[in-house]
Amino acid sequence: MAKKSSSDEVRYLFPFYEMKQSRVRIIYNIWGVFVYSFAILISIPFVWMLITAMLPINYIFSPLDEVIKNFKLNFEYFKKAWEIVPFSLYFFNSFFVSILVVFVQIIISSMAAYSLSKLKPSIYHIVLILFLSTVLIPFETIAIPLYLTLKDFSLPGIFSINLINTYWALILPPIANAVNIFIFKSFFDKLPNDFLESARVDGCSEIRIFYNIVLPISKPIIVVLSIINFVNIWNSFFWPLIVTNDPQIFTLMLGIYKIIEDGQPWNIVMSAVTISMIPNIILFIVFQRQIMKGIVFTTLQE
């Protein structure tokens, strides 16, 4: 067994040669106790959720000692929750909507960003400012007119459709997300121009350059952005609440919200909640590094 020598681990605030001083050691240990205990405190709600999801109904409204005494591993209520709530439908709806939105978002925003960073058409400045202005605007302000436009989605004299209570209403508005464009643009700006110029000299058409050269290079950023947008749309609640009324196209979040309104007992509600959190946890386990990197990247971008 090769042990790591202490020189491999470099500390900056509490270096090892200062740890001999008792004062520094005490501060370090108190700090550590604070951090660890806070981490445990933060994860207690999840433990409580799992405990109540496995409790029989008799013990839900009893004091804490009896709850802990009578706790047993018991997956009965997960089954019941799966039967009561049409989870498969909700999962399908959420997955369908968010995959479609992400797919269209990535295509549209990468195309726009490429033309803004490399081709620079003459309306470049105006378009850039218009895109920037949409980043500031909260979704609550445009929700009302969006609802009205979707209710009467029409070209005057040609057609008019009511898109409320359809998948279109869930899919179309979230596509317009300007943050993606800016992240793509900042990535494309770093690509060297000579590199594209050489392809142009060889007689490659502009669209083929974009499709065959630029997109394969920007694979990591596409992965990061698509995961983050997927999670955001999966978690969204405000817009589906306004637009959908029909339980056939409820997304997962709306479906869970409806359980509370139905007045189910708390153990079934909690088991439904745990089931609803499973996809997010799986996503996090698989794409942990990309999610963390992407969140830092999107927030420090501005």
Partner 1 sequence: MADNIFNKVSSELTETTITSMLDEEIKMHKKEPPKLPIIKLKLPPKESVIKIKEKKKSEESIFKVLQETKVEEPPKPAVPYTTLIQEMRKSWRFRRFGKPLKTYALKRPASPLPVLRKEEIRKQKFYKLKKEFIGMELLTPGLIVFLLFSWIPIIKTFIISMQRITSMHTVEFVRLENFFKLFTDLKFWEAFGHSITLSLLVIAFGAWIPFLIALYIYEMKKGSGLVKVLYFIPFLTPAVPASILWKWIYNQGFGLLNSVISLFVPGNVYIGWLTDSKIVLFSIAIVFVWKIIGWATLIYLAGLQNIPKTLFEDASLNGATVWQKIKEIILPSMIPVIVTVVFLQLISGLQVFTEVYIMTNGGPSAASEVIATYIYKKAFLYMDIGYASAVAVFFLFILVFITLLRMNINFKRG
Could you say which residues in the range 262-281 bind partner 1, by CB under 8 A?
266, 269-270, 273, 276-277, 280-281
- Is 178 a binding residue for partner 1 by CB under 8 A? The answer is yes
Q: Which of the stretches 157-165, 172-180, 186-194, 216-224 binds partner 1 when contact is defined by CB under 8 A? A: 172-180
User: x/- site string to partner 1, residues 181 to 210, per CB under 8 A?
Assistant: x------------------------xx--x
Residue list 30-69, contact with partner 1 (CB under 8 A): 31-32, 34-36, 38-40, 42-46, 48-49, 52, 60-64
CB of residue 75 to partner 1, shortest distance in Å: 19
Task: Please identify which residue in 55, 81, 146, 228 interacts with partner 1, judged by CB under 8 A.
Answer: 146
Site membership for partner 1, residue 2 (CB under 8 A):
no
Least spacing, CB of residue 219 vs partner 1, in Å: 19
Interface region with partner 1, contact rule CB under 8 A, candidates 69-77, 158-166, 217-225, 253-261: 253-261
Question: Binding segment for partner 1 among 71-79, 169-177, 189-197, 220-228 (CB under 8 A)?
Answer: 169-177
Q: Taking the complex as a whole, how short is the minimal distance between the CB of residue 175 and partner 1, in angstroms? A: 5
Question: Six-digit token pair at 237?
Answer: 């609640």
Nearest to 106 by CA among 170, 217, 181: 181
DSSP secondary structure, the chain, as one string: -PPPPTTTS--SSS-GGGTTSHHHHHHHHHHHHHHHHHHHHHHHHHHHHHHHHHS-GGGTTS-HHHHHHT-----HHHHHHHHHTTHHHHHHHHHHHHHHHHHHHHHHHHHHHHIIIII--TTHHHHHHHHHHHHHS-HHHHHHHHHHHHHTEEETTTEEE--TTSHHHHHTGGG--HHHHHHHHHHHHHS-HHHHHHHHHTT--HHHHIIIIIHHHTHHHHHHHHHHHHHHHHH--HHHHHH---GGG--HHHHHHHHHHHT--HHHHHHHHHHHHHHHHHHHHHTHHHHHHHHHHHHS--
Q: Which one of 141, 192, 201, 202 is in contact with partner 1 (CB under 8 A)?
A: 141
Check binding of 24 to partner 1 (CB under 8 A).
yes
Q: Quick check: 214 and 222 in contact, CB under 8 A?
A: no
**From 70, 74, 79, 120, residue interacting with partner 1 (rule: CB under 8 A):** 120
Residue 132 sits in the site that holds partner 1 (CB under 8 A): no
Total residues at the site for partner 1 (CB under 8 A)? 100
Q: Which of residues 70-109 bind partner 1 (CB under 8 A)?
A: 107-109
Q: Contact with partner 1 (CB under 8 A): which of 37, 134, 154, 160?
A: 134
